[in-house]
Amino acid sequence: MEELTHLDEQGNARMVDVGDKVSSVRIATAEGFIRLEPKTRKLIEEKLMKKGDVLTIAEIAGVQASKQTAQLIPLCHPLLLDKIKVVVQLDQQGVYVASEVRCLGRTGVEMEALTAVNVALLTIYDMCKAVDKKMEMHGIRLLQKTKQPL
């Protein structure tokens, strides 16, 4: 029976016990978007932002963040991740970010996928904030999570 609370008998916060679960291939995908002013989009496209190549740096930031999820989210289990893919694409309205995370484990990787997207978007925001005061992040969501028995 799956536990419904993250509190122990004394009312203290704790991680959910996944020790009795069978290891499975766990995959999660997530996405998000940041709306940009046309001038900001052009600077990114032409790689003229002062802080560097926004799209490449955002992808790397997303990968790094995914690996650090358990350090950022207090009750997340630390996981050995097998795959982290972050795709950052410029479009007419801004930048679309998608992630896919996979591991062999006893708990899902949706938090790692969402963390990758969020930090990639925050990296874009940070790199563009000097030239764009109207940036807006939205549509951050989990697209899919699966577990496949071995």
Does a structural domain hold residue 17? no
Does a structural domain hold residue 28? yes
Number of domains present in the structure of the chain: 1
What is the extent of the structural domain holding 28? Answer: 24-149
Does a structural domain hold residue 29? yes
Does a structural domain hold residue 19? no
Nearest to 61 by CA among 131, 127, 130: 127
pLDDT of residue 44: 98
For residue 79, give the CATH number of its domain. 3.30.70.640
Residues recognised as catalytic: 126
Handedness of CA 96, 29, 70, 13 (dihedral sign): positive
Phi/psi at 87 (5° precision): -115, 125
Does a structural domain hold residue 130? yes
Handedness of CA 61, 55, 128, 29 (dihedral sign): negative
List the pLDDT tens digit at each of the 150 positions of the chain. 344 455 567 767 776 788 777 889 999 999 999 999 999 999 999 999 999 999 999 999 999 999 999 999 999 999 999 999 999 999 999 999 999 999 999 999 999 999 999 999 999 999 999 999 999 999 999 999 999 988
